[in-house]
Each structure stands twice: as C-alpha cells, then as structure tokens.
Amino acid sequence: MVEMPLRRILLSFVLIWLTSWGLSSCLVKRRLITRTGAKSATPVLLVAKQSELLQKITAQFNAIHDFNATVDMTPALGTAEKSSITEYKDVRGYILFRKPEDIRIIGLYPVVRNTAFDMVSNGSVFKLFVPSKNRFLVGRNTIEQPSRNKLENLRPQHFLEALLVKPVDANERTLLENFTDEDDAFYILHVVQGSGQQLYLTRTIWFNRVDLHLARQIILDPMGNILTDARYSQWQQYDSVPFPKHIEINRPQDEYAVVVEVVKMDINKGVSDDKFVLNQPEGTTLQTVGETPADPPPGEKGNSR
C-alpha cells in the first residue's frame, strides 16, 4: 500500500535534483510551435463553438450576391494516386458568378491569350466551348457516368461549390472536431446526412484556429470517396467582403485540379444577363455529353447545329 506514494516521491525528488543541477537546459529541448498564416511566432489559438462556426459559413455565403473576378490559373491533369501530375502555367481566367447558381468561366492560353475554354452553367445544365477541338459540349451538371475523356467531366458547378462554401442544410447534422497538434490547428465540422445506421459523411469544413478563416472543404460521395478538395488561404477584403486570394481545387475522381490566384475581384457590383449567354459558334461540332459526337458533313469543319 506504501509502494505507489513512494514511487511518486522518488520521481519528484529526481526531477527537482535534475533541475537544481541545471541539467534541464542540456537534456530538455524546447521547441517553438509556429502556425501557417500567423502574424507572430507564437500565436494564441482562437476558440469557437460549433454554432459560431456554422454562423461564419452562413455569413460568408450570404455576403456575396455576385462577383466578377480576374484570376491566374494553374490547371493540372493527373492524380497523386497515379504519381503523375502535369501542370499548365500562366493561364489567365475570368470567373463571373450571380446567385443563385449562374456561373461562367473563361480560360485564356498563355502568352497569346486566345480562348482555351469557355463554359457556363445555370445550375442545372452547362455549355462548354473548346476552340482547339472545334467542339461545343452541352449536358446536365450531374455526371451519371464519368467519361474517359476528362474534358467531358468538366463542370462549372464544380468550381462554384469550391469557391462558395454553402451553409449546412436543416436536414444535415454536424460534429465538431478540434484537430490541434504540433503541426496543425484546425476546427473541423463533419457534415453528416442520413438516419439511424445509414449515416454517411458528405462534407468536412475546416477552420484555421489562427484566425478562424475557412481553410479547407472536402466534399465526398456516399462511398466516402473525395469528389472535391478545396483549400483556401491569403484571405483579403474585396469591396468590404472577405474572400481568399489563393484557392486550390482538386477533383481526384476526374483526375484534374486547378490553382486559382485572384488578380482582381469585384463583389456585389452586378453582373448582367448577357454575361451568362454562351451560344454555339458557327462551324463547331455539337456534342451532347453522354452521346457520340456528330460527324461533320463532307467538305465542312463540322457545323452540326
């Protein structure tokens, strides 16, 4: 019965002895923990409740009605799982958005600045013009069966769901995780749908505890596979609305990714209807995604309108 207290006394004695001889500076190494995005070497981590984080998501989403952004993009093809990623540098782009779900994205080739792609969506259907392939694709936003041709898997909505994190729905439940260690300091909201034993994870929303800004959003399918992995950093004020200057969007199932760097951003200044109109150019081949492209008539480039 005396053994355990005696051990504690001996342990305390040893620690006091080591400290008194100044051995702590020789045998103990003190390491400062730095945090990405912190303004000081040893930042004080912020504390928030789950309800406060949910309110931050809603406030950020509601603050933006429309925007017109000039961006630099670095598209990439391939995935980390296949150990091969090809990047394309210096692609200038324009992203236009208007609630509820109108979005248009235009990409220009490096140097010459000719159109590389032009795509638009109203939330249910999309159109995609690829001048280099002389093709005009149309289809629904939902992907019933992924195509081997990665071009046919592009959807403007994939960009939108990454650029603007939607508030949590009433039919969704959330769990809060404090993921803080020597390297990372995040609050993670796990968004769950379903009932009973049929629960599945739909999203995880990450907040940096240095400033409580959104840091990451992962969107998953019912099998737990990652559909979209978006990361946000370098938050700035654009027209008095906070927005990340640097966004990384990864679509591993579709084997493409893009890094977006905001050059210029106009928020809530209005975007007119005509900005979301994309008509099929003369001489292009029309393809409804999921169907085989039409063969161009003999002697023509392929106007199939």
Instruction: Give the tens place of pLDDT for each residue, 151-191.
Output: 667 788 888 999 999 999 989 999 999 999 988 899 999 99
Report pLDDT for 305. Answer: 41
Of 100, 103, 37, 94, the residue nearest 71 (C-alpha): 94
pLDDT of 301 > 60? The answer is no
Report pLDDT for 157. Answer: 86
Instruction: Give the tens place of pLDDT for each residue, 15-67.
Output: 565 555 555 555 555 554 555 555 555 678 999 999 999 999 999 999 999 99
Give percent of the chain with pLDDT exceeding 90. 56
Q: How confident is the model at residue 14 (pLDDT cuts 50, 70, 90)?
A: low
Residue carrying structure tokens 């305390």: 12
Enumerate domains of the chain plus CATH numbers. Answer: 50-288 (2.50.20.10)
CA atoms within 13 A on the CB side of 60: 22
Report pLDDT for 297. Answer: 43
* Global pTM value: 0.79
Q: What is the DSSP string of 59-97?
A: HHHHT-SEEEEEEEEEEEEEETTTTEEEE---EEEEEEE
What sign for the dihedral angle of Cα 77, 81, 82, 86? positive
Q: Which two tokens stand for residue 11?
A: 């342990």
CA distance 155 to 152: 8
